[in-house]
Chains A and B, each alone.
Chain A
């Protein structure tokens, strides 16, 4: 079993503390959103700090799983959005921020980006005191093309160490694509049947920033809120469609699902389709015209029969 080397995270943590202290002291930012240690060994919580003294709480580790971009969206009203805000980002989280900028939700000049040279994080923190190995690393990290983020204001020194390992999502998507529609349907039917409509997947998603989700409407009700086949199917299809061309692949939705539903397969399949159809990919360039929010005469029209 291949172990993933994360020794660089110690020095990275030190650099984050120093930089956060500096930008809070000289007034570059009003707050820094980052990670801090929690009670259980290896566990990490998101934290918002506003004073230089608190900068010592910040760290980066294999348990720094959260995509903190979610805290900068309008859905999280509790976080003060005044002035410039510092945020610790892995490459995958940065893609989400870039997507939010493209959707006019954030302005680059209001952010101070602390990018992480990232070798990977855990796929699950149910048991946070877990070694980072090829088995426990988040599957997204095996397919990551932004271990070294670019375009940030500060990047601690350190080179990500990323051994070549099997790409689990690609293999699983290929397996599902090879099934007949009936077999595929029975796979998803079983998975969706576990959904308890806790909406953890929605609440952690940086792109689920609608102030009132369609699925929460009750005057009139748009989608059955009951966790039964009809409502569950509607919920998952709506979510997959609404995130197509937007999802940044952070896989937070899948990580947080208490029922272990492999949600990101849906989003990744949609991303694959958008790549094939419109050559669109979530990346680090701000793109104001998402593939599904604009019309181009050159688009493939062959599906209109």
Chain B
């Protein structure tokens, strides 16, 4: 289904949903930084900037409680967090590099173990994607097979039109339901042209060649020259729409507390630190190698896709200028 909506009606739609108690999450300025955050009104939306962190946190929050405990005498009372209480959410103005990562996350969180926290949030969220009209030299979605108007992961996809307003295209039942429920705000599509799409200036990477090299070069001196500079923080993994590692911690007192699920990062020294004290990834190049291997080989081996959508966030934010597009491009040119 394709419909047209004016900017004003789009804002009305957002405000109406918020008014009806729906949780609407969109890019918004938060103490100086644009993040996907719940809105209190459509005026807060920031549509011309890629949020600093990705949209994954709508389903996979930075931290969440999974169970709480209370101890009375010898008895321990456990209280589960009930995913049924997660709110229905509308996730708005999500860039294609973020939406395209969502099916990638779906595969992991519903593979051998069904992660009810992720899946329940996912079921309750309707995603409105937004075509990209500007890019910088860190963007490389087109190099890894994604496009600035990629529909993957969107329930409803919006394209900005030259004369204002958006062309809306439904891609799932959720998208259709949203459009139908507010039909009076939409009109039939007109002949207006779409704003030109962003054009990242990058060459397409042959991901099969990258994988073939990774298959055979676990031990290669290149890892040292690429990643000796890596300082081992979590910046790249935490801003990435596709990274999905987490750590389980128990926090509280001996009387009561919570078991929590927090984002983790393979760049951290602690990530593979065994209880014995041994660390199989005993240097930063080995840890960074895992980042590349997981994204361009292991994930592909298991799920037949790449764990990178080319959003460029890790490139912009790496403290030491490590550039995954450059690394993967270099690998694709190796024999």
A and B, one complex? Answer: yes
Residues of B within 8 A of A129 (CB): 137
Known: A78-B228, A203-B233. A44 touches B247 (CB 8 A): no
Residues of B within 8 A of A118 (CB): none
Q: Is A296 an interface residue, CB under 8 A from the partner?
A: no
Residues of B within 8 A of A127 (CB): 136, 316
In the assembled complex, the CB of A91 is this many whole angstroms from the nearest CB of chain B, namely 20
Once the chains bind, are A38 and B326 in contact (CB under 8 Å)?
A: yes
B250 (CB) vs chain A CBs: closest residue: A221
Interface string of B267-284 (1 = CB under 8 A from A): 011100000000000011
A66 (CB) vs chain B CBs: closest residue: B320
Known: A190-B31, A194-B33, A199-B233. A226 touches B136 (CB 8 A): no
Residues of B within 8 A of A77 (CB): 283
Count of A-B contacts with CB under 8 A? Answer: 124
Rounded to whole angstroms, the CA-CA distance of A211 and B263 in the bound complex is: 22
Residues of B within 8 A of A71 (CB): 229
Once the chains bind, are A200 and B319 in contact (CB under 8 Å)?
A: yes
Once the chains bind, are B251 and A224 in contact (CB under 8 Å)?
A: yes
In the assembled complex, the CB of B311 is this many whole angstroms from the nearest CB of chain A, namely 13
B270 (CB) vs chain A CBs: closest residue: A216
Once the chains bind, are A191 and B31 in contact (CB under 8 Å)?
A: yes
Known: A41-B137, A191-B31, A199-B234. A227 touches B62 (CB 8 A): yes
Rounded to whole angstroms, the CA-CA distance of A66 and B233 in the bound complex is: 15
Residues of A within 8 A of B270 (CB): 216, 218
A127 (CB) vs chain B CBs: closest residue: B136
Known: A48-B228, A126-B317, A197-B234. A39 touches B326 (CB 8 A): yes
Q: Is A46 an interface residue, CB under 8 A from the partner?
A: yes
Rounded to whole angstroms, the CA-CA distance of A225 and B167 in the bound complex is: 44
Interface size class of A (residues with CB under 8 A): 35 or more
Most buried by A among B31, B32, B325: B31
Residues of B within 8 A of A203 (CB): 231-233, 319
Q: Is B235 an interface residue, CB under 8 A from the partner?
A: yes
Rounded to whole angstroms, the CA-CA distance of A78 and B320 in the bound complex is: 15
Known: A196-B62, A224-B251. A40 touches B137 (CB 8 A): yes
User: In the complex, which of the residues B63, B263, B326 contacts A228, with contact meaning CB atoms closer than 8 Å?
Assistant: B63
Interface of A is mostly: loop
User: In the complex, which of the residues B33, B260, B319 contacts A259, with contact meaning CB atoms closer than 8 Å?
Assistant: B33
Residues of A within 8 A of B321 (CB): 38, 43-46, 66, 125, 128
Interface string of A32-51 (1 = CB under 8 A from B): 00000011110111111000
Rounded to whole angstroms, the CA-CA distance of A190 and B30 in the bound complex is: 9
Interface string of B137-177 (1 = CB under 8 A from A): 11000000000000000000000000000000000000000
Once the chains bind, are A40 and B234 in contact (CB under 8 Å)?
A: no
Rounded to whole angstroms, the CA-CA distance of A219 and B178 in the bound complex is: 49
User: In the complex, which of the residues B251, B285, B317 contacts A78, with contact meaning CB atoms closer than 8 Å?
Assistant: B285
Once the chains bind, are A226 and B323 in contact (CB under 8 Å)?
A: no
Q: Is B195 an interface residue, CB under 8 A from the partner?
A: no
Q: Is A288 an interface residue, CB under 8 A from the partner?
A: no
Once the chains bind, are A79 and B138 in contact (CB under 8 Å)?
A: no
Residues of A within 8 A of B232 (CB): 203
Q: Is A141 an interface residue, CB under 8 A from the partner?
A: no
Interface residue ranges of A1-49 to B (CB < 8 Å): 38-41, 43-48
Rounded to whole angstroms, the CA-CA distance of A225 and B295 in the bound complex is: 26
Q: Is A241 an interface residue, CB under 8 A from the partner?
A: no
User: In the complex, which of the residues A44, A200, A226, A227 contacts B235, with contact meaning CB atoms closer than 8 Å?
Assistant: A200
Interface string of A104-117 (1 = CB under 8 A from B): 00000000000000
Interface residue ranges of B302-330 to A (CB < 8 Å): 315-317, 319-323, 325-326, 329
Interface residue ranges of B234-271 to A (CB < 8 Å): 234-235, 237-239, 247, 249, 251, 260, 262-263, 265, 268-270
A40 (CB) vs chain B CBs: closest residue: B137
Residues of A within 8 A of B137 (CB): 40-41, 129
Q: Is B53 an interface residue, CB under 8 A from the partner?
A: yes
Known: A46-B320, A66-B320, A78-B285. A198 touches B63 (CB 8 A): no
Residues of A within 8 A of B265 (CB): 198
Q: Is A70 an interface residue, CB under 8 A from the partner?
A: yes
Q: Is A121 an interface residue, CB under 8 A from the partner?
A: no
Once the chains bind, are A256 and B319 in contact (CB under 8 Å)?
A: yes
Rounded to whole angstroms, the CA-CA distance of A41 and B323 in the bound complex is: 12
Q: Is B52 an interface residue, CB under 8 A from the partner?
A: yes
Residues of B within 8 A of A191 (CB): 31
Residues of A within 8 A of B325 (CB): 39
User: In the complex, which of the residues A38, A199, A221 contacts B323, with contact meaning CB atoms closer than 8 Å?
Assistant: A38
Residues of B within 8 A of A47 (CB): 229
Once the chains bind, are B315 and A40 in contact (CB under 8 Å)?
A: yes
Once the chains bind, are A225 and B233 in contact (CB under 8 Å)?
A: no
Known: A38-B326, A126-B316, A200-B234. A226 touches B63 (CB 8 A): yes
Q: Is A273 an interface residue, CB under 8 A from the partner?
A: no
Most buried by A among B32, B239, B316, B319: B319
Rounded to whole angstroms, the CA-CA distance of A276 and B283 in the bound complex is: 41
Rounded to whole angstroms, the CA-CA distance of A224 and B30 in the bound complex is: 24
List 18 A-B residue pairs with CB atoms under 8 Å apart, sorted by A's residue number. A40-B315, A45-B323, A46-B320, A48-B229, A78-B224, A196-B53, A196-B263, A199-B268, A200-B319, A216-B269, A226-B249, A226-B262, A227-B263, A231-B251, A258-B53, A258-B239, A258-B317, A260-B33
Q: Taking beta carbons and an 8 Å cutoff, which residues of B are in contact with A?
A: 30-33, 35, 52-53, 62-63, 136-138, 224, 228-229, 231-235, 237-239, 247, 249, 251, 260, 262-263, 265, 268-270, 283-285, 315-317, 319-323, 325-326, 329
Q: Ordered nearest first, which 5 A-B pairs have the shortest CB separation?
A: A256-B319, A198-B234, A200-B233, A39-B326, A203-B231
Given contacts A38-B326, A126-B317, A225-B249, 9 further A-B contacts (CB under 8 A): A41-B137, A44-B321, A78-B283, A125-B321, A128-B321, A216-B270, A221-B249, A226-B249, A256-B233
